[in-house]
Amino acid sequence: MPERITEVTALLAEVLAPRAPLTVIVDGGDPGAAAQFASRLAAAFPATARAWNVDAVLGLIGPGGGLFDSALNVLEPATDRILVYLRGGPRHRFTEGDGERRAQVVIDHRDPDWPVIRHLHPDLAHVDRWYLSESRAFFAARAADWDTKFGDDMPRYTEAVRLAGVRPGHVVLDVGCGTGRALPALAAAAGPAGRVIGLDFTPGMLAAARRAGRDECATLLLADARRLPVADATADVIFAAGLVHHLPDPAAGLAELARVTRPGGVLAIFHPTGRAQLAARHGRTLRPGEPLSEERLGPLLAASGWTLDHYEDVPDRFLARAARV
């Protein structure tokens, strides 16, 4: 059994076992994968928890009547039932209203040998039990070929840095810098008198940044964006590419970014594709009230110490710019 599957099922069994007896229902786009994951999860429970039932729900059609509706559409969470949703391969798409929103546990299962927990309901486990280790596992598996896969969007990063307003002498934090694609442009804009720091919580991403020579223009630090090792009011500009929508608590994350930014400083939230394009890449459609939607992001920023002054969501760029109050 692959080690990653063992880690995931062991963590879930540890979290869920004290709630027994319950029924755990595993659903996904591939019935065989759901059944196999359910079997592995059942085996992970201690002998004292064998009163559990772990089932793969197969062959059910959701209220939309479509082939790709999730089986979880016909179920409701209950005190004696845990719903586990497996995100399937990139070509498998579910309709809006899919079971993922009803599930207390969401697993990225695109690679069955490398599953990753993407959501655990806070009633099951505090976010610190799983978020950092699982997110590192998610990005570690992608670090080596990240630049090869996404290298053609470098000009969009350069333009985003320009729009962020980085000036000579600025202190710039690239939070969630990944392989450091923005670092050369940030360093060029800040100039010799400025300072650029790239922070990421995945060692493999920072290793890829060093292999690309991006540590020559910026300091690289291993750090969790939720608890930055940076003094208050340090940064003139925060550059956050592909970060905010990955945070388990966007409001708390934005407040931490505000803490390390001087009054009047700038936050640039960026992605090299628009929100609709990114959602389509992951096999879903946009939903109302997502953290980066304009109607929600503005209030989130305002409650976290920022004022939104620019919002752009077009096919080849998402850019929201805010000023530190």
Instruction: Mark which of 79, 114, 140 sits at the end of a domain.
Output: 140
CA–CA distances in Å: residue 12 to residues 120, 124, 146, 252: 9, 9, 29, 25
CA 206 – CA 133 distance, rounded (Å):
16
Number of structural domains the chain divides into:
2
Both 163 and 111 in one domain: the answer is: no
The beta-strand segments (E) located in the chain are 23-28, 53-56, 81-87, 105-108, 116-120, 171-175, 195-200, 219-222, 235-241, 261-271, 306-314, 317-324
- Taking only the tens place, the pLDDT of each residue in 19-75 is 877 888 888 778 888 889 988 998 898 887 766 777 765 433 333 334 444 555 555
122, 140, 158 — which closes off a domain? 140
Q: Do 258 and 136 fall into the same domain?
A: no
**Chain centroid, CA 131 distance in Å:** 9
> CB burial class (10 A; 0-12, 13-18, 19+) of residue 201?
buried
Residue stretches of the chain with pLDDT short of 50:
58-69, 90-97
The pLDDT assigned to 76 comes to 60
Domain residues for the domain of 254 are 147-324
Whether residue 201 is found in the same domain as residue 135: no
CATH code, 239: 3.40.50.150
Dist CA 249 CA 232 (whole Å):
20
**Same domain (yes/no): 120, 66:** yes
Q: Do 173 and 238 reside in the same domain of the chain?
A: yes
Tell whether 307 and 159 lie within a shared domain: yes
Rounded CA separation 153/65 (Å):
39
Maximum C-alpha span of the chain: 65
pLDDT of amino acid 25: 87
